[in-house]
Structure 1
Amino acid sequence: MPDAAIDHIARAFDLRACRATFTRRSGGARVSTMTDHAHDLESVRDATERLLTAVAELDDAAVGEPSRLPGWSRGHVLAHLARNADALVNVLEGRPMYADAQVRDADIERDAPRALAAQLADVRESAARFRATGAAPADWSRTVELRNGVVDTAARVPFRRWAEVELHAVDLGIGYELEDLPQEFTERETEFLADRFTGHPDVPPTRLTDGTRVWRTGRAADGSAVTVTGTPADLLGWLAGRRDGSGLTVDGGPLPALPPL
């Protein structure tokens, strides 16, 4: 599956719950926020357990069936989740996230056809390796490098893993929907994705609202902005490339076309 399609998507620890300030680049904007890595590590654990419990109800045939990601079976999604956990261990330990894009893709293709039991074991064991790395004493304020030159603080990595687990659980198409995502995750991922498009020259000034909260994205407003209104699930689904925006209401212009993340 092409990288652009993948990227558009994507706890029992003895850790101090410290809040780290991070600054990252996203579409030309610089965004600062506060991240509680210990809390996010616990959220990753909970999301992983939910996913494993749901996937355990499948059988080998179902694992080989198409997922909601074009060109990927459920086995591809599970293989990607396992390899992503190991890749984020690499990030936290100061190694390249992946050797290269070709190796990343080849590993997923290699692991995708496996039987359910092997998939479950791999997701569980790779998640345990990620947890163990998260439990190790570390400077969570340090800068780490992900793919394609993207940099972030170490404290933000657990949230990135949380997003992988939650959104790909939806991608499996086994009954877990965007509406089922934890409210905290939906709000934070919506903010994260809106920030990614802030300042992007191809995205018009856009105001997003679920009727209660408001986010802004796109170019700096030089007048009126397009207002996009919808449920939290529909807004997140559109921003994350999981829904086409047909459930949204748009005022002040057409629904903006979002570039690949």
Structure 2
Amino acid sequence: MALNDVKTAVAQLTALVTDLDDETARGASVLPGWSRGHVITHIANFSEAMTRQVEEALQGRLVEFYDGGRPARDTAIEAGANRPAAELESHLNSATTGLLTAFGKLTPDDWQRPITHRTSNLAAALNTTWRELLIHITDLGLAITPGDWPPAFCLHLLEFLRPRTPEDITLILVPTEGPTWQSGAGEPRTLTGELQALTAWYAGRTPATPLRGQLPDLLPWP
């Protein structure tokens, strides 16, 4: 279970946005078309939505992740992105604190309770939160990059992203440190580099260090 990892990610995120100024908040993130305000708003809104999944699951209820679905999610991000930095920080801290509090209520018997998000359960929700936080921390384009991802997170993310491998190749990732990782069935395609760089590329982010090999076009995120 990754609860301690999620707590660590929240602490990293909190430190990054503490005393963020308005100019930096409105600066470009590494995501095309999004400022840092967009990323912070998205993380805060995601945290509130996941908190609701947890709290409703504890009551035996299933609810939509975002009221109004993806269109409402996107509208809310745009509406909140240009707020003053202090307001962004306050919203983020309140939302992530609430989420940690909700996860902290769960007993060992609760983790298999179903939720609507990805038609999964609360154990999967915790892993989803881990991914969302660590990936979007790097999307802020501040002090933390994919090169800082822990190896355990890289291996977890590679497994989650297996559906990105094209059907006609066998993707073989050979990290400079760590075990070889393989996905798919087809023509072998071998890439080498640092584990974090390989994982960043597979996740659609820019690797911090070079990769060697012919990069295939990947399928969409699962």
* C-alpha displacement of 1:246: 8.4
Question: Contact 1:73 / 1:112 at 8 angstroms: preserved in 2?
Answer: yes
Q: In structure 2, what is the equivalent of residue 165 of structure 1? A: 133
Tell me by how many angstroms 1:61 deviates.
Answer: 1.0
Q: 1:232 to 1:86 in 2, by over 3 A?
A: same
- Looking at secondary structure, tell me which structure has more helix per residue: 2
Which secondary structure does the structure 2 equivalent of 1:208 belong to?
strand
- TM-score norm. by structure 1 comes to 0.75
Task: Confirm whether residue 259 of structure 1 aligns to residue 219 of structure 2.
Answer: yes
Counterpart-to-counterpart distance in 1, 2:159 and 2:174? 11
Conserved 8 A contact 1:86-1:126: yes
Local SS of the residue matching 2:181: strand
Instruction: Say whether 1:98 aligns with 2:66.
Output: yes
Residue 242 of structure 1 corresponds to 205
State the one-letter code of the partner of 2:46: N
The runs of 4+ residues in structure 1 deviating greater than 4 Å are: none
- Which structure shows the higher strand fraction? 1
Number of residue pairs the alignment of both structures matches? 211
Compute the displacement of 1:51 (Å): 1.3
- Distance verdict in 2 for CA 1:241–1:126, change over 3 Å: same
Is the 2:37–2:80 contact (alpha carbons within 8 Å) kept by the matching residues of 1?
Answer: yes
RMSD across aligned positions (CA): 2.0
Amino acid at match of 1:189: L
1:8-56 deviations in Å (ceiling 9; x for gaps):
xxxxxxxxxxxxxxxxxxxxxxxxxxxx2xxx12211211111111222
Q: Give the structure-2-normalised TM-score.
A: 0.87
Secondary structure of 2:29's aligned partner: coil
> Is the CA contact 1:197–1:217 (under 8 Å) kept in the aligned structure 2?
no
Matched, 1:216 2:182: yes
Q: Look up the match of 2:154.
A: 186
Distance 1:185 1:143 in 2: 24
1:108 and 2:88 correspond:
no
- What SS does the aligned partner of 1:71 have? coil
C-alpha deviation, 1:245, in angstroms? 9.8
Match of 2:59 in 1: none
C-alpha deviation, 1:65, in angstroms: 0.9
Distance in 1, matches of 2:38 and 2:25, equals 9
CA–CA separation in structure 2 for the residues paired with 1:244 and 1:131: 30
